[in-house]
Amino acid sequence: AQSVTQPDIHITVSEGASLELRCNYSYGATPYLFWYVQSPGQGLQLLLKYFSGDTLVQGIKGFEAEFKRSQSSFNLRKPSVHWSDAAEYFCAVDLCREYGNKLVFGAGTILRVKS
């Protein structure tokens, strides 16, 4: 069955340090991949998406992600974390595209930023 795994439930990084959040997916076809961020008590905001082409995609707030087909991964990175990046991050894969796209989400990674 199609699935998305985010191996890290919590990650703590120091402000200014680099960040990498891991995402692995299980999906037979070429995936469409997304990263969303959720601040406490808020809805989900799209950070970036991959549909095709260049495997390194740029998103908002200085985030980027790299699609690696051989590793079935779509890891999110940021070179220098800011305190405002503390939030929960969700990776998602597009499951079926016939009638809309039905996303399968990972369980999420909570990012804490220490000063």
Partner 1 sequence: DAGITQSPRHKVTETGTPVTLRCHQTENHRYMYWYRQDPGHGLRLIHYSYGVKDTDKGEVSDGYSVSRSKTEDFLLTLESATSSQTSVYFCAISERLAGVTYETQYFGPGTRLLVL
- Which residues sit at the interface with partner 1, rule CB under 8 A? 4, 32, 34, 36, 42-46, 49, 51, 90, 92, 94, 97, 99-108
Complex with partner 1: residue 13 or 95, whichever CB lies closer: 95
C-beta of 94: minimal distance to partner 1 in Å? 7
Closest C-alpha among 71, 8, 6 to residue 34: 6
CB 35, CB 89: distance < 8 Å: yes
Complex with partner 1: residue 2 or 15, whichever CB lies closer: 2
Complex with partner 1: residue 65 or 92, whichever CB lies closer: 92
C-beta of 85: minimal distance to partner 1 in Å? 19
Distance CA 34, CA 112 (A): 21
Complex with partner 1: residue 82 or 97, whichever CB lies closer: 97
**Tokens 């985030």 — which residue?**
63
**Tokens 């070179």 — which residue?**
79
* CB hemisphere CA count around 108 (13 angstroms): 12
